[in-house]
Amino acid sequence: MKNIQCKNYNIYINDWSNFKSFVTEMDPTTIFILVDQNTEKYCLLHLLENLDATVQVIRIPAGEQNKNIQTCQHIWTKLLQYGADRHSLLINLGGGVIGDMGGFCAATYMRGIRFIQMPTTLLSQVDASVGGKLGVDLMGFKNMVGLIQDPNAVFIFTEFLSTLPQDQMKSGYAELLKHGLIADKESWSLLSKQDKLDTLDYEILVYESVMIKKTVTEQDPYEKGLRKILNFGHTIGHAVESYWMDSKTPLLHGEAIAIGMVSEAFLSYRIGKISESDLFEIRHSILRLYGHHPKFVKPTEDLIHLMKGDKKNFKGDIRFALLDQVGHACYDIQVESETIEESFLFYKERI
């Protein structure tokens, strides 16, 4: 068991005994567990076996398309109907959608009740559950309404990863690759060469990746500077993910971020930050793992329009977090629309 101490809360990895005692010591008036149909089926029973208390379960439909104010209203209404007060506890059992939205609802219900993040996907374990970012989507723009509020604790159990299909594991693996590219060259070198993702030791990988994000977010909790490097691959990736979200062929978050990382690696090269050999090595490694999907980087005008709504922008300029070398990143880099279009063309080139 590897536990990580943060400034305002702790992250516990594979530590059920601490979970039970932690909740007991909190002594909440009522305990609520937020689930979707997947975590209710595959994870809820295991949580209840390790929690000696009466709970109320709040159910929401799975999927990014449900990460909106309407679903929040349903959660707030259930909390009110079941008698939640300021001494209640909400446990968010699920992936990034559950964690982002459940945390947002907890932080705003009665101006704030206590909550625990229990991420069940690889993506949420290494990304969404750490750093206190909470929120929902609005009018096709990702995470447009929200706040930064630390949970009371994060409990990560890598055993939940065995319930995930391969595409969900690959989606989360994209964030491991991103953390390596922006902060740990050795990690990138190791992870980018893997073929069988189901044979890896995720207790170690999750711990190392969480440590990277923890180190960055504690230096800049409100994303005024350094924390922006965590957005590498996300400016283009979020635009691609948002555009195709309601189509017949939506992308998982990590699949979209893979496209974003290749395209933004090109931008890093284009402004003279990384070498051509680094660029093609990044492209080759990511396309080998995620495939080549040129149809998703169009229509150009619509994708750039979505990027113009990105929260990192300033005075209408599109700002990126880019690599200045493999294993290190920079932020607030202004890039013109024409250069972004070049990055799309680079991604679309045949291997």
Catalytic residue among 64, 175, 241, 255: 175
Assigned token pair, 5: 């101490």
**186 catalytic per annotation:** no
**14 catalytic per annotation:** no
Catalytic residue among 231, 241, 270, 273: 231
> 58-93 as b/e, with b when 16 or more CB fall inside 10 Å?
bebebebebbeeebbebbbebbeeeebeeebbbbbb
Catalytic residue among 67, 78, 142, 253: 253
- Helix, coil or strand: residue 25: helix
| Residue whose tokens read 């070498």 | 275
Helices (H) and strands (E) in the chain, counts: 14, 11
**284 catalytic per annotation:** no
Q: Quick count: other Cβ atoms within 10 Å of Cβ 244?
A: 17
**328 catalytic per annotation:** no
Catalytic residue among 67, 78, 133, 312: 133
**281 catalytic per annotation:** no
**288 catalytic per annotation:** no
**341 catalytic per annotation:** no
Contact 39, 28 (CB under 8 A): no
Q: Is 116 exposed, middle or buried (0-12, 13-18, 19+ CB in 10 A)?
A: buried
Catalytic residue among 78, 170, 178, 238: 238
Catalytic residue among 228, 234, 273, 319: 234
Which is nearest to 200 in space by CA: 106, 289, 114?
Answer: 289
Catalytic residue among 25, 49, 111, 338: 111
Question: SS3 for 267-296, per residue?
Answer: HHHHCCCCCHHHHHHHHHHHHHHHCCCHHH
Rounded Cα–Cα distance for residues 15 and 23 (Å): 13
Rounded Cα–Cα distance for residues 198 and 87 (Å): 40
Catalytic residue among 78, 170, 227, 273: 227
Rounded Cα–Cα distance for residues 155 and 15 (Å): 8
**223 catalytic per annotation:** yes
Catalytic residue among 213, 283, 312, 319: 213
Beta strands in the chain (DSSP E): 2-5, 10-13, 31-35, 55-59, 89-94, 114-119, 133-138, 141-148, 153-156, 319-325, 328-334
- Tell me which residues are annotated as active site: 111, 133, 175, 213, 223, 227, 231, 234, 238, 253
